[in-house]
């Protein structure tokens, strides 16, 4: 386990597994640790900058683990989409060891927070916090989901589709607006 604690050193071997995680500097893949939503809450739940944590905690993503019953809570096939950082440094392993890493937390959309949670100033790049794009969501919102429905959404051309990014973002992500909470 210890070697995960120095993720920057481990880049080489695991780089291939990390395609979605690019640093802000130069597109170099970087293996960062997941830290859990409690860390994000410390700074991202203020009226002045937006109560992102409160907002998320009421969303379905924040309750996604409770959809898994009995042995499903130990099934790798389910855990990768219903927990945070499954099989990754700092991420979910099992309910006894990492109870705080259940559900689809902030870091599943914004990336592992290890560096950002300490180096959060403008001068310090925030490798993980790009604006999530469609590819962030379709890691989970795809046909590997046993409850996938081909016709869940109707896109702007009237075509049925299992996932429509524009509509899904409006439905699921950050209904809270900074302006309103000032």
Q: How many residues bind ligand HEC (CB under 6 A)?
A: 56
| 64 closest CA partner among 174, 179, 172, 175 | 172
Token pair 């990390």 in the structure block, residue: 18
Give me the 70-99 binding string for ligand HEC, x by CB under 6 A, dash otherwise: --x--x-xx-xxx-----------------
Span 123-162, contacts to ligand HEC by CB under 6 A: 126, 129, 131-132, 136-137, 139-142, 144-147, 152
- Burial of 3 from C-beta contacts in 10 A (0-12 / 13-18 / 19+): exposed
Single out the residue of 51, 110, 115, 127 in contact with ligand HEC (rule: CB under 6 A): 110
> C-beta of 161: minimal distance to ligand HEC in Å?
11
21 binds ligand HEC (CB under 6 A): no
Q: What is the distance between the alpha carbons of residues 2 and 117, in angstroms, rounded to a whole number? A: 20
Binding span for ligand HEC by CB under 6 A among 2-10, 14-22, 42-50, 87-95: 42-50
Strands (E), the chain: 45-46, 50-51, 153-154, 160-161
> C-beta of 15: minimal distance to ligand HEC in Å?
21
- Signed CA dihedral, 137, 142, 144, 150: sign only: positive
Nearest to ligand HEC of 145, 161 (CB atom): 145
Residues forming beta bridges with residue 22, ordered by sequence position:
29
- Element (DSSP H or E) covering residue 112: none
Are 79 and 143 within 8 A, CB to CB? no
| Interface positions with ligand HEC (CB under 6 A) | 35, 37, 39-40, 42-44, 52-53, 56, 60-61, 63-64, 67-68, 72, 75, 77-78, 80-82, 104-110, 113, 116-117, 120, 122, 126, 129, 131-132, 136-137, 139-142, 144-147, 152, 168-169, 171-174
């Amino acid at each position: 386990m210890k070697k995960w604690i120095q993720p920057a050193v481990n880049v080489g071997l695991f780089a291939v597994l990390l395609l979605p995680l690019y640093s802000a500097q130069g597109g170099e893949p970087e293996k960062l640790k997941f830290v859990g939503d409690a860390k994000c809450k410390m700074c991202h739940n203020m009226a002045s900058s937006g109560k992102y944590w409160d907002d998320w905690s009421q969303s379905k993503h924040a309750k996604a683990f409770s959809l898994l019953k009995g042995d499903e809570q130990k099934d790798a096939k389910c855990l990768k989409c219903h927990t945070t950082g499954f099989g990754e440094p700092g991420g979910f392993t099992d309910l006894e060891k990492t109870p705080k890493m259940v559900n689809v937390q902030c870091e599943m959309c914004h990336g592992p927070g290890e560096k950002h949670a300490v180096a959060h100033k403008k001068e310090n790049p925030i490798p993980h916090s790009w604006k999530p794009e469609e590819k962030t969501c379709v890691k989970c919102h795809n046909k590997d989901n046993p409850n996938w429905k081909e016709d869940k959404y109707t896109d702007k051309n009237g075509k049925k589709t299992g996932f429509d990014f524009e509509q899904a973002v409006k439905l699921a992500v950050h209904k809270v607006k900074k302006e309103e909470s000032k």
